[in-house]
Chain A
Amino acid sequence: MRVGKTLKIKDLFLTFMKIGLFTFGGGYAMIPIIEDICVDKRRWISHDEMMEITVIAEATPGPIAINCATFVGYKQAGAAGAGAATLGVILPSFCIIFVISMCLEHFLEITWVANAFRGIKIAVGILILNAAVNMIKKMPKKPMPVLTMAVSCFTMILSDLFSWRVSTVVLMVAAAGFSLSVYGVKQLEKRGR
C-alpha cells in the first residue's frame, strides 16, 4: 500500500511536470490539456469533478493551473499528492524563467531586439485590453456590475495619470464589501415583508 502511494506521488509529479513544460499561454490554455490527461487518459478524476474544479478555480484567487494541480493531486494521494502535483507544474517554468532572468537585460541592448520589444510592448497592452473586453462581455448587464466596473476603471485610470497609489487590493475589497452590503440590505427587506 505504501509503495503504491509513493509510486502514485511520483507519477503525479512527472505527469504535471509534463503539463507544465508543454503548455504555453498560461492557465486557461492548460485546462483542456489537464482534462485530456487527467480525465480521459488517466481517469484520475471524473468529468463532473473537472467541472467542479473550474467553478472552484473561478471563485478562488491564484493561478488556475495551481488550483487544478492541487485538486487532482489531493484527490489522488492527499496532501502529499497535492504538493507533488503543484511542484511538478511549477518546476519546469521556474527553471526556464530563472535562466532567462539572468540574460534578458543583456539581450535588450541589441538594437533589433530592443525594436522587437517596442513592438511587443504594444501587443501586451492590446492582449490585456482584449482580456478585459472578453470579461465584460460575459458580465451580466445589470446596473450594479456595470457601475462597479466603471468606477474601478475610472479610479485606475486617474491613479495612473496622476501617479496616485490607489491599491488595487483596496479597490477589490471595497467592491466586495459594497456588493455584500447591498445583498444584505435586500435580504433584510425580504424578511421585513
Chain B
Amino acid sequence: MSVIWQLFFGFFRVGCFAFGGAYGAIPLIRDVVLSHGWLDDETLTYFIAVSESTPGPIMVNLATYIGSTQAGFWGAVAATVAVTLPAFVLIIIIIAMMRNAVENQYVKAMLDGVKPCIAGIILATGGYMTVKGCAAAKPFSPDIQGMTIAAVLAGILLVRGKRKKKISPILLILLSACLGICIYGM
C-alpha cells in the first residue's frame, strides 16, 4: 500500500475516533504515527507545539504537517481530507435525517463510557510526555533544568486556575521557549 493510502486510512481512523477535540486526538495521532514509524515522539511533540501556535484546528494542522513530511503535497491533502471527512459526513447525516440521534439513550450510554476512557488516555499521554520532556538524554532520568521549567509552567497554570483565569496556550508555549533558551543555553 502506498504511503498516501496509509496516510489516508491512518488519519481517517483518527477522524472517526477523535472525540473531545484536539487533545482527544493527540493520543490517537501519536498511536498512528509511531506505529507507522513516520515521526519519532520528539518531532511529533515539536509539531504539536507549532500546531497550537498557528491558526486553525490543531488536528487538521497535525494531519497537514505529517502528510506533507511523509509524502509531499498530495500526502498533506490525503491526510487533511481524511481527518475531516468523518466529521463532515456525520454532521450532514445528523442534520439531514437523524436530528435526535444525539439524544438516543444507547448513543448516550456509549458516550458515557467513551468520555472517561478518553480522559484517562489523555492523562496518561500528558503525564508521559511531561516526564519525557524533562529528560534531556534518557527518557526516565529527568534533569534539574527540565524539572525547573516544568515546575515554573505548572505553577503558573495552578495560580491562574485558582483565580479562575485561563492562560492562552500560545502564551505558555512562548514562555516555555524563552525558559528553554535561557536555561538550556547556560
Contact = CB atoms under 8 A, between A and B. Distances in A.
Interface string B97-132: 000001001110111111111111111111111111
20 contacts: A24-B54, A26-B52, A27-B21, A61-B87, A62-B16, A66-B91, A89-B57, A104-B47, A123-B173, A124-B48, A124-B49, A124-B52, A127-B52, A135-B118, A139-B115, A149-B116, A153-B121, A153-B124, A172-B118, A175-B116
Interface string B9-53: 000010111111111011110010001000000100111111111
A177 B114 CA distance: 9
Interface of A: 20-28, 30, 55-56, 58-67, 70-71, 74-75, 79, 82-83, 86, 89-90, 92-94, 96-98, 100-102, 104, 108, 111-112, 115-133, 135-136, 139, 144-146, 148-157, 160, 165, 167-169, 171-172, 174-180, 182-184
B119 A172 contact: no
Interface of B: 13, 15-23, 25-28, 31, 35, 42, 45-61, 64-65, 68-69, 73, 76, 80, 83-84, 86-88, 90-92, 94-96, 102, 105-107, 109-134, 136, 146, 149-150, 153-154, 157, 168-170, 172-173, 175-181, 183-185
Given A119-B183, A127-B172, A167 B31 contact: yes
Contacts of A171: 117, 121
Contacts of A30: 57
